[in-house]
Amino acid sequence: MSAPQRRLPAAQRRETLLDAASIIVGEVGGRQALLADVAARAGVTKAVVYRHFASKEQLLATLIEHHGRRALERVAELTPTDSLEDDLRAGIRVVVDYAAEEPAAWRILFVEQYEEPAPRAAQRAVKDGARTLVAARLRRERRVSDDDADLLALLLRSAFDGAIAWWHEHADVPVEELVDTTHALLWGGLERVTR
């Protein structure tokens, strides 16, 4: 007879379920992820998952919000310098490091395309949050208008997505090479616009 499973506090159980969902969604994507697989990965029944999340849609939205907070905190922790070029390099490095350390989270946040309204809205909020952080830094440059800052931030965020997608298919490329190449390309255009 196996020992009864110890009941975890709700917050800890929720964290365990989000960890399990991160693995499952990171492996198969949001569309293919099943709550039964999340439950099995967490070592609980599907009923336990439903006690914490009313639906798969709610679980996905919560998962996106969870990873989104952590990703945006890492970007927000960067201390701006007097050099936009140095800030760009540091930002690229933080994004690449995050994608390398948290590949499932990166997929959940920036690769997956969600059909359900709640996960789609949560993902949009994370992408908007990233754009807002970059635009705020660009606005510090007196030569960049508010509209230009928003457009440039969107273009930079999209370029980061593309660089990471390429890198995930070419994992043998050293991180520094990816950062240097991405920086050279983006700085060339950004420098011209902010002169």
Does residue 21 have a pLDDT over 80? yes
Average pLDDT along the chain: 90
Q: Give the residue among 67, 62, 57 at the shortest CA–CA distance from 130.
A: 67
CATH code of the domain containing 150: 1.10.357.10
**What residues contact 79, with CB distance under 8 A and at least 6 apart?**
none
190 in the same domain as 115: yes
71 in the same domain as 49: no
Give the domain-ending residue among 18, 34, 53. Answer: 53
Question: What domain range is 139 assigned to?
Answer: 61-194
174 in the same domain as 102: yes
Residue 70 in contact with residue 62, Cβ under 8 Å?
Answer: no
Lowest mean pLDDT among 18-32, 97-111, 130-144: 130-144
183 in the same domain as 98: yes
Residue 154 in tokens: 């969107």
Q: Give the residue among 102, 104, 103, 108 at the shortest CA–CA distance from 30.
A: 108
Number of structural domains, the chain? Answer: 2
87 in the same domain as 46: no
In a domain, 178, yes or no: yes
